[in-house]
Amino acid sequence: MQEYNENFNIELGKKNKQLIMINRPTNFLPSEYTKQDNHFMKEHNFTEEEIVQGAIKEHKELEKLFSDNNIAYKVFEQTHPDAHDSVYISDCMICIKNEDFPKGLLVICPMYWPNRQLEKYPHIYEWVNTKLGYQDIVDLSYFEKEGKALEGKGVTLFDFKGRCLYVGETKRAHRDVIAKLAEVMTEKSGQKWEYFLVQNWDQKEKITHFHTSSYFMIFETCAIVCGEILKTQEHFEELKAKLEASGKEVFDCSYEEMNNGATLGVEYFQADGTNGLLLSDFCQDVSENVQNFFKKHFKKQLYLTAPILVDVGGSSLECLTQTIPL
């Protein structure tokens, strides 16, 4: 892999209309806090040193995947020694730029667990402002003092055409912060934004999924959701109808397909207008129906093997990336 070139990637990002930010791990360890509500974290026999070094190696493979496929990206370094989860940069901020938000909007998100509240990055906010031209920076992290969170794109899904936020309400996504974000987006865009509270209950695991993206994802032309774990069939039909009214094709994946990562893709764009989907390698086990749905809506699928960052950390490629529209 060639040495990282920031200027090249910024120019490539402008052509692709998108740049993907990642945060290189230097001291990654699975979080004792996260274990309390993340049932995707898998048991393992790795030593602490194997986890730290394995995470670094896997992240380099992610950089190589971007570089080999002409995907614009920016890499930062983990800065706080106790912020072990900071590699999962999807959760701590939201970046938006389109016709409704021509100035660019960066939202600093309030996090739930104390170790994740350490994930504040003035140097990143400044870089997005000065290098990428994002002019509006809104800090909602003050909600942390009230014990209220909204963990970025892990919990907040966007339908830009329908101007609606879809958020699974849990302790990682408090209704007051959801309402505030909709208010901010209304103010900054001059267009009315609303929010849809997604209610889930995993009957098999007897849990509520803490991040919306674990069972639901919205892309440019489509959405995929596990209707089986929404609280009622009526709730699913309401969600589906609202997305379809906005022009999205909605795929209702099975519980097994959800556990094989059907909702955990990252959509990327390239200069010729084509799009693709970044997925963890275990997503190759999804059904033929899901594969056909992917092929219909995405030009290409790319896969990364990351047993430390994904399996031990209980995450996905979606968690490891912060997509910045340009």
Q: For 195-216, how does the pLDDT look when each residue is reduced to its tens digit (9 = 90+)?
A: 999 999 999 888 899 999 999 9
- Rounded Cα gap, residues 238 and 222, in angstroms: 16
Q: What is the DSSP string of 135-158?
A: -EEEE-GGGGGGT--B-HHHHEEE
In the three-class reduction of DSSP (H, G, I as helix; E, B as strand; rest coil), residue 109 is classed as coil
- Comparing 1-15, 35-49, 223-237, 298-312, the range with the smallest average pLDDT is 35-49
> 265 near 283, Cβ under 8 Å?
yes
User: How much is the pLDDT for 291?
Assistant: 95
Q: What is the pTM of this model?
A: 0.96
Mean pLDDT score of the chain, rounded to an integer?
Answer: 94
Residue 97 phi/psi, 5-degree rounding, is -155, 120
pLDDT beyond 80 at 32: no
User: How much is the pLDDT for 1?
Assistant: 66
pLDDT beyond 90 at 314: no
pLDDT tens-digit map of 87-112: 999 999 999 999 999 999 999 999 99
With b for 16 or more beta-carbon neighbours within 10 A and e for fewer, the 274-293 pattern comes to ebbbbbbebbeebeeebeeb
pLDDT beyond 80 at 311: yes
Domains of the chain: 6-325 (3.75.10.10)
